[in-house]
Structure formats: C-alpha cells, structure tokens
Amino acid sequence: MDENSQSSIFEGEITGIRFGLATQKEICTASISDCPISHSSQLTNPFLGLPLEFGKCESCGTSEPGKCEGHFGYIDLPIPIYHPSHISELKRMLSLICLKCLKLKRNKIQIKSNGIAERLLSCCEECAQISIREVTNTDGACFLELKLPSRSRLRDGCWNFLERYGFRYGDDFTRPLLPCEVMQILKRFPLETRKKLSGKGYFPQDGYILQQLPVPPNCLSVPVVSDGDSIMSSDLSISMLKKVLKQAEVIKNSRSGAPNFDAHKDEANSLAINGRSVSSS
Ligand SMILES: [Zn+2]
Ligand SMILES: [Zn+2]
C-alpha cells in the first residue's frame, strides 16, 4: 500500500462481529463468474484457479503457484432446499412463531378458580397449536412437516392460510412445509418478531434455504490420484457436486411448466439427498 492511499483511510471502530450463513447474494458475488456451473466438467475449470495440469488460471491470469488465491464458483439449484446442517435450528426457530401472523407464540398457563391449569393461546387460536417436526424420509432426505394436534377436530381448508407463502395444499393432520414457503416466511418476519427472536438467540437467515451451492476453488480440492487403472483418491465434495448437477439435470428435463406442490416436495428431497454431504462439509 503506498502513502497516498494510506492517508485516505477513514478511521473506524469495530463495534461487533457477527457470523452467519452465506446468503444467496454472497454466494453469487463471491463467485468469479456470473455464470453458474452447469456441467460436471466445469467443476475443476481453469477459472477456479490453480493448481492446474496445464496452462494458467483463467481468472487472475497467473501460472505461478502461490500467486493465485483461488476463485469460487456456484451451482444454481433448480429448486430451493433446506440447508441440511441447519434444519434443526430452523425448526426450533419456526416453532416459536405463529405461522399465520408471524408473531411469537405466547403460550401462557392460567390457573383457573377450580385449580385446573388452562393453556391460553393469545394469537390465532388454531394455528398456534401447529407443531413442526423434522422428518427423515426413507431415502434419507430431511424436511420439515407441520402437524396439528391429533385430538383437534380437522377442519376443511385448515392449511389454506399457508397459500400466501406458496401453495394451497393438504387436508390431513400433517402437511410438509416446503423450503420455498419457508423462504417467503423468513422474508416476511416483522421487525418486532426479529427483535424478539434475537433476544432468544435466533437470527432468521437467508442461508437456511439453499438456492445456490458454492463450488470450491481448485486449490481446495483434493486432486485425483490414480495408478492408471483405478482411482486411489478423489475429492468427496467434487463427487457430491457431480451428483447434484446430475440430479439438477434430471429435474430440469422432467419438468413441463412450473412445479406444483408435489413436484416441489419430491424435487427438493431428491436434491437434498445428493447435496447433503456437500453443504455439511
Ligand atoms: Zn487465479
Ligand atoms: Zn398468530
């Protein structure tokens, strides 16, 4: 840094540091290319930096090892999925909220004159009784499911209030909650709800739902070691990203029009199984 640029530095004071999940925007802006990776052959592309077998880094132009700091890429997912490492935290946070009015549930116990304790639900009666469960299906995909108490009387259209976040769907005691619906819910949290949640140690984050997956720079990948016949070592995250790209391709090719509720559920689950190890690593 030369003297001129030093003199123009403004003084500042760090008042706090907050760690959080990368947002969709951050994943894209951290990427060297505006263009998402769409084919497995691009996962070790020269624009992701050194080391390369031949040639120079196509992003910074150097061929000298140590001069290239590595460059990220990203994959666009065809459908949003739950971040597999943070789904439990998300569940705990959403459990505190009334999904209808997006205010904190205020469950109070009142002791009546006859000595019987009664639960007072101060906001939207029925919706406040909905609980959230984390469910793992037979394929191993994790998703969130809403559940009404089994002793309650099932009303027609009891899940219709969720339409504002995504879909009018469900007539049973349980109903899956789609990642795309949670995205809408998180966006609509009132300031008051955010404040109260932070008081309880919860911070609603964009990154709870993944729409993009970061692709690591070449310098962070384990190179393929082969004796000519068999592969002795290869990068686990690269092979998982390959599976994600393959599944993304299957999903795109199977679509005719915008996905409905069931397609959303199935597609998100199929991607979640394939993406599980990538995003948790
Ligand atoms: Zn480079
Ligand atoms: Zn409510």
In sequence order, what E strands does 102-216 have? 107-111, 117-121, 131-136, 142-147, 174-177, 209-215
Whole-angstrom Cα distance, residue 48 to residue 59?
A: 7
Assess whether pLDDT exceeds 70 at residue 118: no
State the average pLDDT for the chain.
86
241's tokens? 């990203």
Q: How far is the CA of 166 from the centre of ligand 2 (A)?
A: 18
List, in order, residues 6 or more apart from 141 with CB less than 8 Å away: 268, 269, 270, 272, 273, 276
Please, which residues bridge with residue 225 across strands?
Answer: 233
Whole-angstrom Cα distance, residue 234 to residue 222?
A: 6
Question: Of the ranges 51-60, 71-80, 82-91, 192-201, which one carries the lowest mean pLDDT score?
Answer: 51-60
Q: How far is the CA of 122 from the centre of ligand 2 (A)?
A: 8
pLDDT score, position 80: 94
Q: In this structure, which ligand is nearest to the CA of 126?
A: 2
State which of 53-57, 64-68, 244-248 shows the largest mean pLDDT. Answer: 244-248
Q: How far is the CA of 80 from the centre of ligand 1 (A)?
A: 30
Q: How far is the CA of 41 from the centre of ligand 1 (A)?
A: 18
Chain centroid to CA 44: 24
Q: pLDDT higher for 266 or 8? A: 266
Assess whether pLDDT exceeds 80 at residue 123: no
Q: In this structure, which ligand is nearest to the CA of 106?
A: 2
Place of tokens 């909650």: 177
Whole-angstrom Cα distance, residue 156 to residue 135?
A: 24
Whole-angstrom Cα distance, residue 240 to residue 246?
A: 10
pLDDT score, position 147: 94
Assess whether pLDDT exceeds 80 at residue 7: no
Q: In this structure, which ligand is nearest to the CA of 98?
A: 2
* % of the chain at pLDDT higher than 90: 47
Place of tokens 């998402």: 36
Q: In this structure, which ligand is nearest to the CA of 57?
A: 1
Assess whether pLDDT exceeds 80 at residue 3: no
Assess whether pLDDT exceeds 80 at residue 108: no
| Whether the Cβ atoms of residue 149 and residue 141 lie closer than 8 Å to each other | no
Assess whether pLDDT exceeds 50 at residue 1: no
pLDDT score, position 246: 93
- Residue 245, classified by CB atoms within 10 Å of its CB into exposed (0-12), middle (13-18) or buried (19+), is buried
Please compute the mean of the pLDDT values over residues 205-224 and round it to a whole number.
Answer: 88
91's tokens? 């569940």
Whole-angstrom Cα distance, residue 245 to residue 239?
A: 10
Q: How far is the CA of 60 from the centre of ligand 1 (A)?
A: 4
Assess whether pLDDT exceeds 60 at residue 232: yes
Place of tokens 């140690």: 201
List, in order, residues 6 or more apart from 7 with CB less than 8 Å away: none
* % of the chain at pLDDT higher than 70: 87
Q: In this structure, which ligand is nearest to the CA of 97?
A: 2
Selection from 272, 280, 275, 277 nearest residue 144 by Cα: 272
Q: How far is the CA of 64 from the centre of ligand 1 (A)?
A: 9
Q: How confident is the model at residue 237 (pLDDT cuts 50, 70, 90)?
A: confident
Question: Of the ranges 19-23, 139-143, 184-188, 232-236, which one carries the lowest mean pLDDT score?
Answer: 232-236
pLDDT score, position 92: 96
Chain centroid to CA 185: 13
| Whether the Cβ atoms of residue 137 and residue 143 lie closer than 8 Å to each other | yes
pLDDT score, position 143: 93
